[in-house]
Chain A
């Protein structure tokens, strides 16, 4: 790379057309800010998206970009990454795009561990189609398509990712710029499919969905920031923690004989712990940060290793030999 890039180098010349106040602006800003730190030449960065508000994202990044079809971005990205492993490929998706119409591709790209960064903007609503419930909307939600309340039981994106045995699973929040920046860096540095759920406010159709986690006055009581090797502490005064009561986690208040040494220490490499944290529902706090990270060979690298192995075993492809494989005969 000739000269260091700045945030501005990643801003495209296209007018951003999300609704004023949309959480997507914050995510775009965080990604554009983080990009220069990764030190990757712009031409080697590709953003691939599906359909939905979030999927307009590639138009606003001054890199290579491909706005594709609903739900299929992981499959399209797989074809690109496998044949061009040197590229830094990002997938932008939403809760509808990634978990409803594209659920199948998402679980398979995660289990294969294709070396992609997958950012799922979760606003628990269909925005672009103007306000229907999504696969992450809570039961009972009143929307345009559920006037009597949704009766669909929702997915947890984190649990889906863990269930598909993703090698990197994390969560952040649109307005938590510093935390989001850290998570983007972690996702970027991971080799393999890095899944980052970003809780995102849709101020038009689902405003305040994550208020507990974003309202400065109360968020500390509801956010549990996961840090590898550190005890699970939260609360405005950092006076609450999570400890095991037999096989069940519980919230405890520090003091009165309870100290940090009684609390669970977060371990990113513990899949069971990751599942347990993913199951936290009120009154438990909502974890953000890296739930799980492990090192496993990536699909794209393995594919290319097989190609290399075949080449060193059989030599480079020889078309004439290939055509004459098997029984041939000459007619004179």
Chain B
């Protein structure tokens, strides 16, 4: 953990003496959290700081954490929006357990976050926001800045509001517009503190405010004023340098999970040589995929904002019938509504991807917070026997590969596929080594053309996949539907034996996908050991970091991460049985755990959390330690 600047306090106390050249202190990583009212622009400041850090060559992981309300009452705990970033000269797996730096724009932001901070953390506050009324709104009886309760931290009180106002005084902006530039002042100041170049933010401002020159100038000035303030003020005795991480050579960009998901779908459609169709209804935290895809129309990408979740998936089923790469995006509550149409796609065997960007439930739950409690719904949440492949992404950039793979499997096996991500992956960001497009696996789409002997439910020998016969093809006119249908012809059939044949054939088709799932990779003891931690989805980073730390302590702990949840990899049972103990860590009450116990009769146990927050590394470490003792 980082050590605070040794001389900062004395430098602040000695303000007025001649400026001495600032020293630069080296750090291998920093965990910083920006926090303020949901209208204070903390997400923006965080994202820009992330871009600056990525461009500076650090490895990064982020954790945005914001309320569902657009503008909760100002100054209240409910309205606090936070953005956490871990930037490092080493490989990072999580956004960090404990921030070493907190930027708190008001008392509520301080109060909501102080419990998470590392010992001796740096706290930067906007001094003028700590008014009696703001303190009262945040529930403070006395001002924590003066009552001694922050003594174990390094507190920097900055006149952010006043300094921003001064910097913009001659622009003729109203108070509200000036107030809204405070985040740029803070971003500038923190950028100096960690020696981040602000060029990318300046360029971003120019794009963002291309049509509003006065706001562009205001934001630019605030950013630069903050940067210069950091350099000039004697409050900060040192700035910090986090050297670039040694990461794999290549071209990188910074990417969020939702962007990667959108790009993965476009890449798959391009590879398949078919248009992409998204039918979707806005829902947090999935809507950004709709927003992003709606800007890619020239590929071509069709985006249809439907009247409801059902129409979202139903329109995608229609587009799939017509030969498009058809997808729908949603989150938990929408998943329930789509279930019937997914069942139809299972029955008529059309390719379709249902993306569930999971959030904390049940019901509306905590819409902006992550959870992994939809796994069993994806597995079993339909009427009848209707198996559907499930793929889950581990990190923001992994969403690209998983979206691509979901399409590949859907068209190869003529089946709906679930792609599972969550709110943490959706909004979290990391550097992404851009893939070599020529090396992406092929996605082959061959429509049926030949009327001779055509049967809509004849099957390919290996995959058991049926032909994709799209309207407009002469001689292949046929009817499909939800009613039980005869093998080969697809004609309506109520034959009991035929029904069982079809149900079993579809189940075999999905189970057969396991043939091409790569062998399970064990991080750690290949031949087995004391404990293996099994995980899926966004818990990857926390688990990997905890297991790495355990192994550094010579504990016999390994990690298996699953991308494929249905079917499970063929060698999973065998690999798990090599360990004396199997712990399944997931953000639910034990859903993969149930699957593993049921499929392999292994007495696995859970490590579970449903707080709408990712696992801290320490939480998994503690559970590992207890398991090893037990």
Contacts and interface: CB of A to CB of B under 8 A. Distances in A.
A76 B315 contact: yes
B212 to A, nearest CB: 21
B252 interface: yes
A101 to B, nearest CB: 10
A322 B244 CA distance: 26
Given A68-B317, A75-B311, A320-B437, A329 B324 contact: no
Contacts of A61: 479
Contacts of B247: 331
B340 interface: yes
A105 B314 CA distance: 10
B479 A59 contact: yes
Interface stretch (A19-27, A42-50, A201-209, A259-267): A42-50
Interface string A288-332: 000000000000000100110011011111011011111111111
Contact of B253 (A62, A67, A104, A328): A328
A69 interface: yes
A83 B474 CA distance: 19
Contacts of B481: 58-59, 65-68
A29 interface: no
B277 interface: yes
Contacts of B316: 79
A82 B304 contact: yes
The number of chain B residues touching the other chain, given as a range, is: 35 or more
Given A67-B482, A328-B251, A83 B277 contact: yes
Interface in B436-495: 437, 470-483, 491-492
A12 B306 CA distance: 33
A103 to B, nearest CB: 11
A329 B319 CA distance: 38
B97 interface: no
B265 to A, nearest CB: 12
A197 to B, nearest CB: 21
A75 B482 contact: no
Interface in B492-516: 492
B274 to A, nearest CB: 9
A327 B318 contact: no
A328 B253 CA distance: 4
B321 interface: yes
A83 B302 contact: yes
B266 A319 contact: yes
Contacts of B492: 14, 59
A330 B310 contact: no
Interface string A59-85: 101111111110010011111111110
Interface string B248-279: 11111110000000010011001000010101
Contacts of B277: 79, 82-83
B327 to A, nearest CB: 11
Contacts of B399: none
A81 B321 CA distance: 10
A123 B474 CA distance: 35
Contacts, number: 207
A316 B269 CA distance: 14
A86 interface: yes
A105 B51 CA distance: 42
Given A105-B311, A108-B307, A76 B321 contact: yes
Interface in B291-312: 296-302, 304, 306-308, 310-311
A99 to B, nearest CB: 15
A328 B252 contact: yes
Contact of A78 (B54, B252, B304, B326): B304
Interface in B174-209: 200
A43 B473 contact: yes
A332 B318 contact: no
A83 B477 CA distance: 19
A249 interface: no
Given A67-B479, A84-B323, A322-B266, A307 B298 contact: yes
B628 interface: no
Nearest to B263: A323
B344 interface: yes
Interface in B49-76: 51, 54-55, 57
A225 to B, nearest CB: 35
Given A66-B479, A327-B200, A87 B322 contact: yes
A36 interface: no
A104 B318 contact: no
Contacts of B314: 68-69, 72, 75-76, 79, 105
A235 interface: no
A9 to B, nearest CB: 10
Contacts of A231: none
A307 B293 CA distance: 12
B298 A311 contact: yes
B302 A76 contact: no
A66 B477 CA distance: 11
Nearest to B271: A319
A162 B357 CA distance: 38
A303 B324 CA distance: 15
B341 interface: yes
Contacts of B299: 316-317, 322
B322 A311 contact: no
A332 B252 CA distance: 11
B474 A43 contact: yes
B517 interface: no
Contacts of B343: 69
Nearest to B204: A327
A131 interface: no
A42 B473 CA distance: 9
A75 B471 contact: no
Contacts of A51: 482
Given A69-B341, A75-B310, A317 B266 contact: yes
Contact of A42 (B279, B340, B477): B477
B431 to A, nearest CB: 8
A326 B341 CA distance: 37
B359 to A, nearest CB: 24
Contacts of A105: 307, 310-311, 314
Candidate in A64, A66, A75, A330 with the most chain B CB atoms within 10 angstroms: A75
B434 interface: yes
Contacts of B297: 306-307, 310-311
A69 B339 CA distance: 11
A4 B513 CA distance: 46
B302 A64 contact: no
B298 A315 contact: yes
A43 B479 contact: no
A63 B344 CA distance: 20
Given A316-B298, A317-B299, A324-B251, A78 B482 contact: no
Contact of B324 (A41, A72, A83, A320): A83
Contacts of A84: 322-323, 470-472
Given A66-B480, A86-B472, A330-B249, 4 more contacts: A66-B348, A79-B317, A322-B299, A326-B254
11 contacts: A43-B477, A51-B482, A64-B477, A66-B348, A79-B304, A83-B322, A83-B324, A316-B299, A317-B270, A323-B267, A324-B253
Top 9 nearest A-B pairs (CB, nearest first) are: A67-B481, A79-B318, A317-B299, A79-B315, A65-B479, A75-B314, A75-B311, A310-B297, A76-B318
Interface of B: 51, 54-55, 57, 200, 244, 247-254, 263, 266-267, 270, 275, 277, 279, 296-302, 304, 306-308, 310-311, 314-324, 326, 340-341, 343-344, 348, 434-435, 437, 470-483, 491-492
Interface of A: 12, 14, 41-46, 48, 51, 58-59, 61-69, 72, 75-84, 86-87, 104-105, 108, 303, 306-307, 310-311, 313-317, 319-320, 322-332
